[in-house]
A and B are shown apart, each in its own frame.
Chain A
Amino acid sequence: MSETDTKHMHQKFEEHQRAEQDQVHLGSAAGMVGSVSNVEPQELIRPRSLVGNVLPKWFLPATAGVGVVVGFVISYLIGGLSVNYALWFVFAAIIYVLVSYLITRQQLNKRKAVDGLWRNLVYVAFVIALIPLVSVIWSVTVDGFQGITHSSFWTQDMSQNAARTREQAIHDGEAPMGGGVLHAIIGSLLITLTATVISVPIGLLTSIYLVEYSRGGPLSRGITFFVDVMTGIPSIVAGLFGVAAMQTILMLGNQIGLWSYGPGNYSMGITAAVALCVLMIPVVVRTTEEMLRVVPNELREASYALGVRKWRTILKVVIPTAISGIAAGVTLSIARVIGETAPILLTAGTLTRVNWDMFAGSMMTLPVYIYHTFRYPYGGPGELEYLSEQRAWGAALVLIMIVMTLNLIARIIANVFAPKKTGR
């Protein structure tokens, strides 16, 4: 045989094979289609398309609407024909969640129904969380606004008004509601400032040690762990510590002859500042540590390569790069301690007049003023008590404004002046 013949035969054989294979494929495919369509036509073409297998968009709002209406009717009937908002909300939520679950289950399937049930529960949880927030801000704003708009609120302390009745005020020819929170604002600022001045250097240096110097040794691990533990110290325990520490210091100094104060004279602004430091230092350490870690290593290495000493690198390169984050962290820690009540109540006590001296005598702060005024309203029951409460709500409004402004400032500092992640 010649080579061409063999080639030809080979080709023919291959063609034949291919044709056979094609036939088999076609046949099997046709058979499959045929068998499927004969046995179960619904399996391939489902009655509902992909789009049709969900409930319409108006379903959830409609169910919610039904829940609100039916919930109102039920709560109205149960509550003795009067509107009880809490009951209304509870019934509306239950009806909404249940009805949407049951309808989804009946119309679609169990899995989708369970999915929808949990989604609705998450929504309800979110709404429940918003209720107290709205309620707190509403009551503080409404009652507090009347307090802060009074003329003497910002300019006077309570020394004239603590033991004063309405008759006395009228006799003196003055408005019954005199007095203000000047002493509390001054005390809050002084104590918080002192605590900040003590806490920030210690906290910042500690985080510098943790980030720049320690190499994961037992000391740094211990510091990190105990700083975490310190963030959980109850504020009242910090107050107890402040008192106990100051009493010991006063007693020792008295025995040596440094001063004539006894351990009973512990009620001072500085004692409160020391107590607040215990609460403030861990917050400063944690926030500034995070910020220092964000500083890119290239900056440090570039500085070292120029022959700059480590301490100069830290002061001139690392801290300026992270300064926005550090400032934000310090602001947040101030916001954390300026609202503390219990430690200051134990350490600095209460006072009705302005006291500028951190080292002598009690001091009033805004949170303690709020607490004290609500607990022991000035002027006895009646109209003066009402005015006194208004002043306390006003002080609460001022306090919330201060804390929220500090939080806002911290966020703005952190966002606007944030260092670029890739270096300068």
Chain B
Amino acid sequence: MTTDSTTRSQRRKLAKKPDNTLVSADRAGAGLDRGFAGLAKAAGIFILIILAFVAFFLSWNSVGALYQEEEGLIIGRFLSYAWPFALGTVVVALLALIMGAPIAIGVALYISHYAPPRASKTIGYIIDLLAAIPSVVYGAWGMFVLAPAMVPLYHWLSEWLYLWPEENLGWGIPFFAGSPGMGQNIFTASVVLAVMILPIISSVCREIFIQTPKLHEEAALALGATRWEMIKMAVFPFARPGIISGVMLGLGRALGETMAVVMVVSGLGFQASIISPGNSTIPREIALNFGETGHGTERWHQLVALGLVLFIITLAVNMVARWIVSRHKEFSGAN
């Protein structure tokens, strides 16, 4: 009885007010829906705007390094100022890559295919710890621990690759000229950078090594391949784009790394030798001088323009890496 009456009264109420409330609530809901969608979209567009602003501010402020009202175009002066730093940056990053990438790939292989399966996850965490250490700590380590430890190696290199051939052949390799001093040179810096990019390359490679289709591996093993032959035949062809993009990401990181180079390297002059103090990179030049340079001077504009050069180099490297990954996306996670 009671339920019957309530339903009747409800029906009567509904009959009195058709569905005004429903319609109005619906309208408000639709508005909120659109508002929320717009907010989300605005946030996405905002990120693009930030990136555009980064590019805009850098290019706008570096005009002063290339053109000044009294003198006209001064591109030549900027280039002669900038090229040693650009070269230093590329050399340090490439040295770091040559040392770091093979070891990183080896570590990734160890975790994915050689380590005991139970331990491999823990080992992966341990290697990821390397990535968690801040760059300033690496810089301090490079400055106080690594640089003194590297000095004997530099003496040996200088003796056998520069001094000895110069005496006997009349010509030594100029990269190993000069006195190592305290070991605070760009070679030490690139060793520190190699340590820093190792976990990046290694984690990208590890991810893709693990994704190798099990059936490919088992097929290779079933045909009598040894473990290395299996890796060569099944894992590497599958993982090649991942390895390349991981290495490119590591290169991008090494190009832009500041503090490790600032703290490890001492001396400023440009020279061919990589084992004696001197040489510099773009981030180091900016970090050391930006605070002391007056806003709006030519030097200030030059520093910002150096930043722009670095931005463009790393942007290009990263875009190539991403492009390689996206081109091979259909293969990742196959089967």
| Chain A residues in the interface with B (C-beta under 8 A) | 84, 86, 111-112, 114-115, 117-119, 121-126, 128-130, 132-133, 135-136, 139-140, 201-206, 208-210, 212-214, 219-220, 222-223, 225-238, 240-241, 243-245, 247-248, 263-264, 277-278, 281-282, 285, 309-312, 314, 335, 338-342, 345-346, 349, 367, 370-371, 374-375, 392-393, 396, 399-400, 403-404, 407
Answer yes or no: B175 CB below 8 A from chain A CBs. no
Known pairs A241-B57, A278-B54, A403-B134; A263 contacts B295 (CB<8 A): yes
Binds A, one of B40-48, B161-169, B212-220: B40-48
Counting chain B CB atoms within 10 Å of each CB, which of A226, A237, A248, A392 scores highest?
A: A237
A-B contact count (CB 8 A): 266
Residues of chain A within 8 A of B145, CB atoms compared: 135-136, 139
Beta-carbon contact of B287 and A115 below 8 Å:
no
Residues of chain A within 8 A of B40, CB atoms compared: 205-206, 208-209, 212-213
Known pairs A223-B48, A245-B53, A346-B287; A233 contacts B256 (CB<8 A): yes
B residues 207-249 in Cβ contact with A at 8 Å: 226-229, 231, 249
Beta-carbon contact of A234 and B310 below 8 Å:
yes
Q: A125-B102, A311-B33, A393-B140 are in contact. List 14 more A-B contacts (CB 8 A).
A: A115-B229, A122-B114, A123-B110, A125-B107, A135-B145, A136-B145, A208-B43, A232-B318, A236-B283, A240-B307, A244-B61, A278-B50, A403-B133, A407-B132
Q: How far is the CB of A57 from chain B (nearest CB, A)?
A: 15
Residues of chain A within 8 A of B105, CB atoms compared: 125
Answer yes or no: B195 CB below 8 A from chain A CBs. yes
Sample of 20 A–B contacts (CB below 8 Å): A86-B149, A114-B226, A119-B227, A121-B106, A129-B202, A204-B43, A222-B48, A225-B322, A229-B51, A229-B318, A233-B256, A234-B310, A241-B54, A263-B295, A278-B50, A309-B29, A309-B30, A339-B133, A341-B136, A341-B258
Question: Which residue of the partner chain B has the closest CB to A245?
Answer: B57
Per-position binary interface string of chain B over residues 95-135, scored 1 when its CB falls under 8 Å from any chain A CB and 0 otherwise: 00000001111110110001000000001001111101111
Beta-carbon contact of A119 and B135 below 8 Å:
no
Known pairs A86-B149, A213-B41; A244 contacts B57 (CB<8 A): yes
Counting chain B CB atoms within 10 Å of each CB, which of A123, A230, A282 scores highest?
A: A230
Q: How far is the CB of B212 from chain A (nearest CB, A)?
A: 16
Beta-carbon contact of A236 and B256 below 8 Å:
yes
Q: How far is the CB of B91 from chain A (nearest CB, A)?
A: 17
Q: How far is the CB of A84 from chain B (nearest CB, A)?
A: 7
Beta-carbon contact of B319 and A229 below 8 Å:
yes
Residues of chain A within 8 A of B109, CB atoms compared: 122
Beta-carbon contact of A244 and B36 below 8 Å:
no
Q: How far is the CB of A147 from chain B (nearest CB, A)?
A: 12
Q: How far is the CB of A261 from chain B (nearest CB, A)?
A: 13
Known pairs A122-B114, A236-B310; A309 contacts B51 (CB<8 A): no
Known pairs A311-B36, A375-B263; A237 contacts B256 (CB<8 A): yes
Partner of A342, one of B32, B227, B259: B259
Beta-carbon contact of B304 and A111 below 8 Å:
no
Partner of A128, one of B35, B61, B103: B103
Q: How far is the CB of B199 from chain A (nearest CB, A)?
A: 8
Beta-carbon contact of A342 and B51 below 8 Å:
no
Interface size of B by Cβ–Cβ distance < 8 Å? 93
Q: How far is the CB of A207 from chain B (nearest CB, A)?
A: 9
Known pairs A122-B110, A244-B304; A371 contacts B322 (CB<8 A): no
Question: Which residue of the partner chain A has the closest CB to B318?
Answer: A232
The 3 A-B pairs at the shortest CB distance, nearest first, are namely: A234-B256, A339-B134, A125-B106
Q: How far is the CB of B308 from chain A (nearest CB, A)?
A: 8
B residues 290-304 in Cβ contact with A at 8 Å: 290-291, 295, 303-304
Answer yes or no: B143 CB below 8 A from chain A CBs. yes
Residues of chain B within 8 A of A213, CB atoms compared: 37, 40-41
Q: How far is the CB of A352 from chain B (nearest CB, A)?
A: 16
Beta-carbon contact of A119 and B134 below 8 Å:
no
In Å, the complex CA distance between A230 and B51 comes to 7
